[in-house]
Structure 1
């Protein structure tokens, strides 16, 4: 499946990378969801420009030691000269993941030795680099941007991340470069589904790799290893019941505060990309630890991306059990992950193979549910029955009217309701309609989307 390109922001501290990051991803991040627990706790965002959706990564300030008497009056990290190799490694990790680098510099400070050191790192790569000369809040500073051509990198564009000046010009150059690199980037609304792609996700040490190895080992019919979205990610395609199934392994997704800078930071980015490339995510829980807050965040991200979800409780063999243990555990899962009540749960031991055969069976079943299509007549009969069973609440003297509904797409299923007034629609009634659809049709493990459109010039 196609992937979204990556644009990394690189630069020394206090040049305005975070402000630029917020401007680039702010509109796409400001999406309101009424599902509790789905906060996107991640290290990247998305931006959309000129028909291309791409990831934006803020790498954090790269601090470079500057001795006294050098071009920088104030050392960025005085006394940390021994840390320069690690700093360089962090920058290179970002560069290796990215398709395009935006090096952010401070037009007010002018070119510093730290900028030159970072530019030297970037010149050793084969990635296109755009220099964003930030803090050009006044046009009188724009001519100062030409100084940065001495870095020997790409085009220099004066911008103001705070006020937005020049950011559009910068994005024009970014998307032009992306199209020059490849015509195959994912555009808004494009979806590719050649066969089932499964992302195995979860916290570190939950048993993801053991599960992957067991799935591959039992099938013993590997078609080919396929290079994934990044240079060090490998997808494995197996033949399962005569069909190709690609399994995408991911790094453990720690809580943000526990993520180490550099390589580990970007392994988490790759995990998010794996979810985006898959149709089904298998969330592996550690049976000995139970459901954690981070498990909730990962499940929330899966659902936010409208991917199907299977919950796998691993290490079940190590859990002390009695007659009530499984029911108690299931109740705990449903309580903590209450925003995905439709996700099936499997209790396994990846180590000894207990119930391993169920994993692909259930994943394939929820994958097929993504393509269920309900006829318009069946859907509208369902809506009429739902309205008779539970009429929409009044708002003053007015009541919500649903004229008709239709399914407009699959993968995931999307239902369009034509109504009289969106202001009369409460999210609880929307949830009620979703539940009625799920009661009548098998959408196990798969999110469904409901969209509401007002009929113009409707009559009350």
Structure 2
């Protein structure tokens, strides 16, 4: 079923993201007193009185400004307007009617879409009379609310449900689960460019200015009959280099997005080599148990004499040694080189993450294949696996009952993990192991 879409729009700092978060019930968009903090289209889903719908939060619309980034925000807003079935035009009662809002109103009327004028920041009944000023914009449907204080939200949602078109029913069929992909990496390594190349449109902003993606943006799409949810995240930086509050929140949201993903695409910039920041991000993804594909981006910028994948692969395996199991692909998000080979790797990793080994098969492998290949300890008592079981997937998690967990050194555990990986073909996914004394 395709959900009706509702776009929230208005000039900067009128409370669009606060309203989005209030309706969706989560802090998905960044809320800050600084105008222009939401720069991309943010998608969420909500339900009211049995009606489900998709909500789109947009950046602040300024038709009078001419800066490059503002122009890109305009483009994003009008794309959202075209996608939407219903528009929520948000204004700020405390700031009063702004000439910019009159101009926005003129543009919206040309779109021939149903519009609800949402007069925000009416925090108490005494401000109701101030809301009358906005009626001159000429919209038939309006509602006074305070998104921050939850005032009037129920009435607004009631209005929304009366304005929504009927949900577009599709043939009900059993679908494979969508694969959630998080695109992560340091700031300005090409994450948004990669997302745009995959999607074929500028659903997220691309700019030479580091840090132009401030929110984590979900996009649902289908490729070769498989459904994906791709999450483009703000660049992850170390805490000591963060300055703005919004940037700090972006980093936290990038980490949250990673935790929501099934598979992580870790982007490296070939022109900068592997930095400590890359290693830190890789370690965080591995710690959280996500499937991982390493993408070496900007391969088109390498001179022919330097295009030696073997040398760079050795450097990756040396500096990010804990991800030796992760596949590596050399790409160019700008030219599209090998970009769509990513999905073959993602599917293989997802299948491996979801693989469940039957207990009898696991125990037969332990005694006939795995245990004989494990190294003999030099000092401690001999480690012995009695039996085991897989207790979870995404990532695969095993519990082994042993004679004494203290006999299993870190090196021995690593060997055990690698033997399990080889025995059952786990690809691109971490494997978690627990030991219990029997």
Query: Given the two structures, how large is their TM-score scaled by the length of structure 1?
Result: 0.54
Counterparts of 1:333 and 1:399, CA distance in 2: 34
Q: Which structure 2 residues correspond to residues 238-257 of structure 1 after superposition, within 5 A? A: 238-257=221-240
2:358 paired residue among 375, 381, 404: 375
Per-residue deviation, residues 35-84 of structure 1 (Å, max 9, x unmatched): xxxxxxxxxxxxxxxxxxx99xxxxxxxxxxxxxxxxxxxxxxxxxxxxx
2:370 maps to which residue? 386
Instruction: Report the Cα offset of residue 415 of structure 1.
Output: 1.1
Q: Which structure 2 residues correspond to residues 316-335 of structure 1 after superposition, within 5 A? A: 316-322=299-305, 325-335=308-318
Per-residue deviation, residues 372-429 of structure 1 (Å, max 9, x unmatched): 1222233223322332233542656x42221111212212111110112222221111
* Greater displacement, 324-333 / 205-214: 324-333
Counterparts of 2:306 and 2:392, CA distance in 1: 44
Q: What secondary structure sits across from 1:399 in the alignment? A: coil
1:337 paired residue among 320, 330, 344: 320
1:263 maps to which residue? 246
Contact 1:203–1:294 (CA under 8 A) maintained in structure 2:
yes
Counterparts of 1:401 and 1:274, CA distance in 2: 39
Counterparts of 1:436 and 1:287, CA distance in 2: 32
Q: What secondary structure sits across from 1:239 in the alignment? A: strand
Query: Given the two structures, how large is their TM-score scaled by the length of structure 2?
Result: 0.56
The alignment of Structure 1 onto Structure 2 pairs a total of residues equal to 269
> Does 1:126 find its partner at 2:110?
no
Contact 1:400–1:419 (CA under 8 A) maintained in structure 2:
yes
Per-residue deviation, residues 294-338 of structure 1 (Å, max 9, x unmatched): 000111111111001110011101012338721111101111110
Per-residue deviation, residues 193-247 of structure 1 (Å, max 9, x unmatched): 94210000111111111100010119x9xxxxxxxxxx95431111122221000
> Does 1:274 find its partner at 2:296?
no
Counterparts of 2:307 and 2:267, CA distance in 1: 22
Q: What secondary structure sits across from 2:312 in the alignment? A: helix
Contact 1:282–1:309 (CA under 8 A) maintained in structure 2:
yes
Contact 2:187–2:235 (CA under 8 A) maintained in structure 1:
yes
2:397 maps to which residue? 414
- CA spacing shift, 1:353–1:324, aligned 2, 3 Å: closer
CA RMSD of aligned residues (A): 3.2
Instruction: Report the Cα offset of residue 451 of structure 1.
Output: 1.0
2:293 maps to which residue? 310
Contact 1:312–1:346 (CA under 8 A) maintained in structure 2:
yes
Q: What secondary structure sits across from 1:322 in the alignment? A: helix
> Does 1:285 find its partner at 2:268?
yes
Q: Which runs of no fewer than 5 residues in structure 1 stay unpaired? A: 1-53, 56-86, 94-121, 129-192, 221-230, 456-460
Instruction: Report the Cα offset of residue 260 of structure 1.
Output: 1.6
1:360 maps to which residue? 343
> Does 1:299 find its partner at 2:282?
yes
